A and B are shown apart, each in its own frame.
Chain A
Amino acid sequence: MIEKPHHIPARLGLLSATAADPFLTEDLLKGVQGHAGIDLAKVVEPLPEEDPRWDVEPLRDLVDDAMYQFKENRTEADGWLAPRLHATLRLTRREAADRRIWTHLALAVAPDYVAWRHGPAPAQDRNMRINPARFKGAADRQCFSRLWWAAEMFRNGEDYGPVVTACSNQDLIHNALRMDLIDHRPTAQALVRILERGVASTGREINGLLVAISTAGATLVYDALAPDEPRDPEPLRAWIEEAESAPPVPRHTLPVGPDEERVPEASVAALADYLVGLFETAPIRGRTPQP
């Protein structure tokens, strides 16, 4: 198992995938040997000095806590870490879309967490490699950005509750983040609502539900069925401003997100019923799986 790097940077920076490539050694991907961190620090582009959001310490503390708390069941760490990472690293979507920040976090700050979360399980083949995408890949694959985006897409205003529900189902976040369905907030909340109701729970059911929604979405405009509130940039800006004075995120209760308008309850309720209808009338349901 990889240990945490000897040298951990004090501040987050930007690490391009090309610059990171030489450090994604075979030993690292096999979980045998990490890097010391010194050489890596040289190829990182710094972020502005004065911004307190780039302090690494609170983030490092979070992953340490996660590894400790979920050492028996690492997939459950997602639901715990996602809202807390989101509330600690307060980003706009514009900032979060820059993959370099995530690559830096994964490779320089917490490669041990990546290896712990996505490395071969004790029961698995020891020769299996960690997918390099967990360090530097697409937003829905990279170890930390997928959690941040899951929190961003599934939170309901300041309420991270739905994020925990969504992350409790790996199939949901794994597939939903790849589809642009959840860009529509009412759809994301309706999915969580359906999960809570227990209508679809197995991976196969969740996938069937998502495929049904996406297929019907080729001709249906869900925005017309379930309106959302217009986006307001101010609450998020204020929340980011508060980052400097904010205490560390609570470990046992959920943190509080930016004070944005919640998704209209009527939209969520109506859409959840509608989507369940789509799912339950799908002909493929009940068919025995093909060999």
Chain B
Amino acid sequence: MEAGEEFGPWLARQLKIAGKTQAELAEELGLTRAAVSAWITKRSVPRATVMGEIAKALGTDLSTVHTRTTDTQAGLPVTWYHRPGYLDGGRDGGNAAAFAFDADVQVLARETCQNSLDERLVENGRPVRVRYTIHELTGEALEAFRAAILWDRLQPHYLAVSESAADQKVGRVVDAGVRDMFEKGRLILLRVDDYNASGLTGDDYDDGKFAAVVRRQLESLKSGRAAGGSYGLGKATLWATSALGMVLINSTLSVPHEGRTERRVIGRLELPWRVVDGQAWAGPAWLGRPDPETPNAEVVRSWWADEETVERLHLTRESDEPGTSFLIVGAHDVASLAPEKPDAADDENGGDDDGTRDITAMHHRLVEALGRDFWAAMTGGGSKLPLLETSVRTLRNGEVVIPEEKVDPAEAQPSRTRALRAFYEGTTVDRLTQAGQVALRNVPLRLPLTGGRRGTLGTHQGVLLVTEAEEKDAAKSEVHSLRGNRMTIKKSTVHGLPLGVTAFQAVLLLGHAAGESAPFADDAEEFLRAAEPPEHDRWGQTEELTLRWSHSAHHRIAALTAEVNSAVKELVVRPKSAGSQENAKLRKKLTVQRKTTAAPKRAAGSTLPELDGLEARIGAGGEWQITAEVKLPRAEELPAMTPVVLLDVRSGSRPRLDWAELVAVDGCEVEDGVLRFTPRARRAVFRGFTDATSHPVRTELTRLVLELRAGTGE
């Protein structure tokens, strides 16, 4: 068995947890205080016989003392710590960031994957793997989970928040979340795991990734993108996605903390200001082990949990690979409810089918968002591995509802994925001569000098990839621009394309994405990052760009766009020859456009009766037996029509068959082979048999054509 922490620090913490001093332990063991101190300062280790005594003194078993992979259960149990209300009575109304926007799992996907990419362990060259698990709990499983998160102690707080639902959006969200759990008897857990990432390293309180996520929420929001480590604004989406404002965390660290790496667990709750049992609470709460070093040992901190505990909290990780698991308790996806059809709401109240609609919808929306936003990061080729792998799975009470689905970038972005792969594999071409090829062009980004000086620092060569669009591609003929993080920052269309250009897809790689050998890649990366607004959706004028470069620096980006557009046109548009330009204007006026739709162009409202249905079969005598429906225009007087039965041919004239029998069924009368319609009828039905002896070929080999002709049909 692998030994965990070193003995000294471990013992020190156990004493702290148990609220014992070194002197008290020494006395219990019948040793000097100096001996205990020597263990703690790592100057010596206890003899094997003393280990048993120490175990007894700490209220644990011998193997825990030997392995030291977990804390003793002595001391204060894991519990919720609610931050008390401010002494000045201020009510912040909960974490604004967490409830600033509607819950949207697609936003969650974007932000969490981006964090995982930033936290990827780069040394081993492997991708970071992100797995989303949607898990719906009902019945006993739900009961067990509620017990694990100490629901009974939280309930008064939720009740207090629900009471405020009338005046606060936060309250309404939470109230709906709680009611969903009790009325529908279900709870949706959405877990986001990453593997091959750094994990939440660092101290509970000091600067570090752990504190950035768990402690400093509002702070990092205020200080903007530059501070707060990788977990910027994005982490708020974790709490925003929870209708209960609750996220539990289990992290495996890439760098040991307190000598340990596995099962660092903490929970965090975001609720608004509330009064419970006459006491005011500021908002946030943490699930953890009380920290003996804090006043009254009330504040809780992360603890090194045992396997059974993480199991009960649904936080078990599949391996000891570093990374973090976030469990969003009471996940909801308001954006998915935005109905395409206005009657979708009725639908929800009416038939709740098998009750999995919410979770399967969530599943599909996650897959869609991951493919859309991270296709580039998920694409590899040649010797280049992808940066990211993602998957989504959906469970209900531990049973698989939708098996794990690895997100394939080629599904969402078939042609752009092909373009990037060809770039990595070195199979791009100079000009496109075959569907499926990828053309490469270098486009210059002239980087300005910093500090408002005139002139150019250097020219970065961006890589433009162009390929024919696939039918599955959503928006066609767009240029998607990426930099080192492989996120699509900018989507732009190429204007001024002539009629008939085959749809294409283009990818522009800049900065580190343009490859190791691209000149000025670092500078371009820095320049573009500065030109990126917090929404990460375009490059242009920003405050930072103006401050560090100049107020005209964004013109360099406009110039790049112009270069890109002309390069795209060069690749996909046929250069016009002099001959085709002559008389072009007159020619244009003398063009019959090919009809794109098969539907015949017609003025509104037909003035003649029209066929609106045809049933036919071949009778025993080889005759066609026909039942046809006629739609009649709204008119006082309806013209007589003649039903004409013909056979389709390859070419030439169509042979006309004779009627053996023609009978009116409804809305009409038959007179000498002519249909006379009942006045003011809107539909008519007639039946007929052809005269088989008028068929020019065996009936099974014919294709029937029925037409209605005005008048007597001649």
Contact residues, B621-655 vs A (CB, 8 A): 622, 647-652, 655
Within 8 A of B (CB), among A180-219: 180-181, 208, 210-219
- With known contacts A282-B697, A284-B694, A284-B695, A215–B648 Cβ distance under 8 A: yes
Q: How many residues of A contact B (CB 8 A)?
A: 23
Tell me which residues across on chain B come within 8 A of A220, comparing CB atoms.
701
C-alpha gap A204/B693 in the complex (Å): 16
Q: What is the CA–CA distance of A212 and B647 in the complex, to the nearest angstrom?
A: 10
Given A211-B655, A278-B701, the answer on whether A284 and B693 have CB atoms closer than 8 Å is: yes
Q: Mark B679-697, 1 if CB is under 8 A from A, else 0.
A: 0000000000000111111
Determine whether the beta carbon of A283 is less than 8 Å from that of B703. Answer: no
Interface presence of A270 (CB below 8 A):
no
In the complex, what distance in Å separates the CA atom of A219 from the CA atom of B622? 17
Interface size class of B (residues with CB under 8 A): 10 to 19
Given the complex of chains A and B, what is the CA–CA distance between A281 and B649 in angstroms?
A: 18
A209, closest chain B residue (CB): B696
Contact of B647 among A175, A180, A208, A215 (CB under 8 A): A215
Residues of B within 8 A of A214 (CB): 649-652
Could you tell me if B647 and A218 are in contact, using CB atoms closer than 8 angstroms?
yes
Minimum CB–CB distance for B695 against chain A, Å: 5
Q: Tell me the nearest residue of chain B to A220, going by C-beta.
A: B701
User: CB within 8 A of A215: which of B655, B692, B693?
Assistant: B655
Asked if A287 is at the interface of the complex by the 8 Å CB criterion, the answer is: yes
Check A283 against B698 for contact (C-beta < 8 Å).
yes
Kindly state the separation between the CA atoms of A282 and B693 in the bound complex, as whole angstroms.
Answer: 8
Contact partners of B652 in chain A: CB under 8 A:
175, 178-179, 210-211, 214
Q: How far is B624's CA from A215's CA once the two chains are assembled, in angstroms? A: 15
Q: Given the known A-B contacts A215-B655, A283-B622, A284-B693, are A278 and B650 also in contact in the complex, defined by CB atoms under 8 Å? A: no
Partner of B649, one of A218, A284, A287: A218
Closest to A282 in B: B697
In B693-714, the 8 Å CB interface with A consists of 693-699, 701-703
Nearest chain-A residue to B649 (Cβ)? A214
> Which residues of A lie under 8 Å from residue B649 when comparing CB positions?
211, 214-215, 217-218
Q: How far is the CB of B266 from chain A (nearest CB, A)?
A: 71
Asked whether, in the complex, the Cβ of A212 is within 8 Å of the Cβ of B697, the reply is yes
CB distance from B648 to the nearest CB of A (A): 4
Q: Shortest Cβ distance from B379 into chain A, in angstroms? A: 41
| Contacting residues, chain B, for A208 (C-beta < 8 A) | 696
Question: What residues of chain B lie closer than 8 Å to A218, measured between beta carbons?
Answer: 647-650, 702-703
Evaluate contact between A180 and B622: CB separation under 8 angstroms.
Answer: no
| Measured CA separation A215–B698 after assembly (Å) | 10
Is B651 a contact of A281 with CB atoms below 8 Å?
Answer: no
- Residues in chain B near residue A217, CB distance under 8 A: 649-651
Cα A3 to Cα B531 in complex, Å, equals 89
Chain A's closest residue to B621 (CB) is: A283
* A287 to B622 alpha-carbon distance, docked (Å): 15
Known interface pairs A178-B652, A218-B648. Does A282 touch B703 (Cβ–Cβ under 8 Å)?
no
| Contact bitstring A75-104, B, C-beta under 8 A = 1, else 0 | 000000000000000000000000000000
B699 contact set on A, CB distance < 8 A? 283
Q: Which residue of A lies closest to B697 (CB)?
A: A212
B697 partner residues in chain A, CB cutoff 8 A? 211-212, 215-216, 278, 281-282
In chain A, what residue has the closest Cβ to B698? A281
Q: Which residues does chain A contribute within 8 Å of B650, judged by CB atoms? A: 179-181, 213-214, 217-218
A/B pair count, beta carbons within 8 Å: 72
CB A248 to nearest CB in B, in angstroms, measures 37
Interface pair B698/A278, CB less than 8 Å apart: yes
The docked-state distance in angstroms from the alpha carbon of A180 to that of B652 is 8
**B693 A287 Cβ-Cβ under 8 A:** yes
Rounded to whole angstroms, the CA-CA distance of A283 and B660 in the bound complex is: 14
CB of B39 to closest CB in A, whole Å: 90
**Which residues B294-340 have CB closer than 8 A to chain A?**
none
A114 to chain B, nearest CB (A): 26
Least CB distance from A218 to B in Å reads: 4
Asked if B693 contacts A283 (CB within 8 A), the reply is yes
Q: What is the bound-complex CA distance between A179 and B699, given in angstroms?
A: 21
Shortest Cβ distance from B650 into A: residue: A217
| Docked pose: A181 CA to B697 CA in angstroms | 16
**How far apart are the CA atoms of A215 and B696 in the complex, in Å?**
8
Chain A CB within 10 A, most for which of B648, B652, B694, B695: B652
Q: How far is the CB of B120 from chain A (nearest CB, A)?
A: 56
B701 touches A179 (CB 8 A): no
> Could you say which residues of chain B place their CB within 8 Å of the CB of A175?
652
Whole-angstrom CA separation of A213 from B697 in the bound complex? 8
- Which residues does chain A contribute within 8 Å of B703, judged by CB atoms? 215, 218-219
B649, chain A: closest CB distance, angstroms: 4
Give the residue among B647, B651, B694 with the most A Cβ atoms within 10 A: B651
Distance, CA A178 to CA B696, complexed state (A): 18
Closest to B705 in A: A218
Provide the residues of chain A in CB contact with B695, threshold 8 Å: 282-284
Across-interface contacts of A284 in B (CB, < 8 A): 693-696
A220, B647: Cα distance in complex, Å = 14
Cross-chain contact B693 with A181 (CB below 8 angstroms)? no
A238 CB, min distance to chain B CBs, angstroms: 31
Q: Which of A234-291 contact B (CB under 8 A)?
A: 278, 281-284, 287
Shortest Cβ gap from B121 to chain A (Å) = 59
User: Cα distance A253–B141 when bound, in Å?
Assistant: 98
Give A181 to B702 CA distance when docked, in angstroms. 16
CA distance A213 to B649 in the complex (A): 9
Q: Return A289 CB to nearest CB of chain B, in Å.
A: 12
| Interface hub of B647, B692, B701 (most chain A Cβ within 10 A) | B701
| B701 adjacent to A219 (CB under 8 Å) | yes
A22 to B349, alpha carbons, bound, how many Å? 82
Which chain B residues lie closer than 8 Å to A216 at the CB level?
Answer: 697-698, 701-702
In the complex, A109 Cα to B622 Cα: how many Å? 55
Nearest CB of B to A236, in Å: 25
Roughly how many angstroms separate A86 CA and B298 CA in the complex, as a whole number?
Answer: 108
State A283–B692 Cα separation when bound (angstroms): 7
- When C-beta atoms are compared, the residue in chain A nearest to B694 turns out to be A284
A205 and B697 alpha carbons, distance in the complex (Å):
13
The residue on B at minimum CB distance from A211 is: B696
Interface residues of B in 593-634 (CB under 8 A from A): 622
User: Which chain B residues border A213 with CB–CB below 8 Å?
Assistant: 650
B707 to chain A, nearest CB (A): 15
Contact A180 B701 (CB under 8 A): no
A106 to chain B, nearest CB (A): 25
CA distance A54 to B677 in the complex (A): 64
Q: Which of B647-669 contact A (CB under 8 A)?
A: 647-652, 655
- Alpha-carbon gap, A217 to B698, bound state (A): 12
Q: How far is the CB of B637 from chain A (nearest CB, A)?
A: 34
Residue of A nearest to B692 (CB): A283
B10-42 CB mask vs A (1 if < 8 Å, else 0) is 000000000000000000000000000000000
Question: Distance in Å from the Cβ of B518 to the closest Cβ of chain A?
Answer: 49
Chain A residues with CB below 8 A from B696, complex form:
208, 211-212, 215, 282, 284
User: CA of A201 to CA of B693 in the docked complex: distance in angstroms?
Assistant: 21
- In the complex, what's the smallest C-beta–C-beta distance from A172 to chain B, in angstroms? 13
CA distance A272 to B88 in the complex (A): 104
Contact residues in A for B648 (Cβ distance below 8 Å): 215, 218
23 A-B residue pairings within 8 Å (CB atoms)? A178-B652, A180-B650, A181-B650, A210-B652, A211-B696, A214-B649, A214-B650, A214-B651, A214-B652, A215-B696, A215-B703, A218-B650, A219-B702, A220-B701, A278-B697, A281-B697, A282-B695, A282-B696, A283-B622, A283-B694, A283-B699, A284-B694, A284-B695
List 18 additional contacts besides A217-B651, A282-B696, A282-B698; criterion CB under 8 Å.
A178-B652, A181-B651, A214-B650, A215-B648, A215-B649, A215-B655, A216-B702, A218-B647, A218-B648, A218-B649, A220-B701, A281-B697, A282-B695, A282-B697, A283-B692, A283-B695, A283-B699, A284-B696
Q: Tell me the A residues contacting B by CB distance below 8 Å.
A: 175, 178-181, 208, 210-220, 278, 281-284, 287
Q: What are the nearest 10 A-B pairs in CB distance?
A: A217-B650, A218-B648, A212-B697, A216-B701, A214-B649, A218-B703, A211-B696, A180-B651, A179-B652, A283-B695
